[in-house]
Amino acid sequence: MTAVRPRLGHISFLNSYPLLWSLRRTGVLPTVSLHIDTPDKLSDDLVAGRLDAGPITVAEYLRHHDRLLLLPGLAIGCDGPVLSCNIVSKVPLRDLHERPVGLGTTSRTTVLLAQLLLEEHLGVRPRYTPCVPTLSAMLRHADAGVLIGDVALRARLADGPRLGLEVHDTGALWKDWTGLPMVFAAWAVRREFAERHPAETDALARGLRLARAHSEAHLDTVARDVTLLGTTVAPRQAADYFRHLSFDLTARHLEGMRTFARLAAERGAVPACPPFSFLGSPRPVGSDA
């Protein structure tokens, strides 16, 4: 019988580099086929069946939960500032009422979070427009832009201060509003794949958790190695960034996920939040059944 080679997605942004670093050094998943891309494309590929497992933005998980099982203990989130999911603005946020705000096209969760923060938390009703996810493109056509990933991190560390722009961290704004962590992406496996290949799926989930734990124990070394990527982020900046991120999916993070899901459903952006279904759980998390 031909061995199954799971198709695993991996985010191309710096926020996922610690996991990739450990996957390559530990060799805990020697049989996977790794596909590296932006979060929006990976989410689409997982939902469409072009990937078997990988990270999915929380907004897309909520829209397609019936096809997916969450992998325990794996996420990209924060409990306060996240540094790389930002609203970058020419004016104070409360002055954005009826003014154009660009929404970066690589983002699904952060653009929805930004709309919740602006409208429900701050009482501002901007005019939104999809934009190429670069700071220069956004601010040519709008008074503010929602950015994620490396361009957002660069806006916080260099471009925003240099251009005299306000950079508002959506993770920090969410924590101020709700008191909860924010989860931007979680790892999931397609239900169909998990049912057909349970042993391979269990090995995949176990290997990813081992790699996550290994990377968290070696963050300073990971940060020094970012110079190999050709990034403008210095190792000390990368180390600080990685320590602002939460790579686990704890009970508090799940509470934050449920709160985000409820608010997004009230807005009509996602279906009403179901109990979360995890690989290996006898019943959905949060279910009383």
Query: What does each of the 289 residues of the chain score in pLDDT, given as a tens digit?
Result: 567 899 999 999 999 999 999 999 999 898 899 999 999 999 999 999 999 999 999 999 999 999 999 999 999 999 999 999 999 999 999 999 999 999 999 999 999 999 999 999 999 999 999 999 999 999 998 999 999 999 999 999 999 999 999 999 999 999 999 999 999 999 999 999 999 999 999 999 999 999 999 999 999 999 999 988 888 899 999 999 999 999 999 999 999 999 999 999 999 999 997 789 999 875 455 433 2
Q: Is the sign of the CA dihedral 99, 106, 113, 265 positive or negative?
A: positive
Distance CA 212, CA 16 (A): 10
Q: Which long-range contacts (CB under 8 A, 24 or more apart) does 23-26 make?
A: 23/207, 23/208, 23/211, 25/214, 26/210, 26/211, 26/214
DSSP 8-class letter at 2: P
Helices 251-267 and 109-116 pack at an angle, to 10 degrees, of 70
Q: Which CATH code fits 7-77+182-267?
A: 3.40.190.10
Domain ranges of the chain: 7-77+182-267, 85-178
Model pTM? 0.94
pLDDT on residue 2: 61
- Angle value at C-alpha 239, between 237 and 241, nearest 5 degrees: 70
pLDDT on residue 282: 52
- Residue listed under structure tokens 């019988």: 1
pLDDT on residue 289: 28
**Burial class, 80, CB count within 10 angstroms (exposed 0-12 / middle 13-18 / buried 19+):** middle
pLDDT on residue 109: 97
**Residue closest to 207 by CA, chosen among 50, 74, 76:** 74
Residue 209 tokens, joined: 């958790």
Q: Confirm whether 7-77+182-267 and 85-178 share one CATH topology.
A: yes
**Residue closest to 103 by CA, chosen among 123, 117, 122:** 117
Three-state DSSP class for residue 261: helix
CA distances from 147 to 57, 58, 86, 106, 213 (A): 14, 16, 5, 8, 28
Distance CA 259, CA 236 (A): 33
Distance CA 254, CA 160 (A): 32
Q: Under CATH, what is the fold of the domain 85-178? A: D-Maltodextrin-Binding Protein; domain 2 (3.40.190)
Three-state DSSP class for residue 93: helix
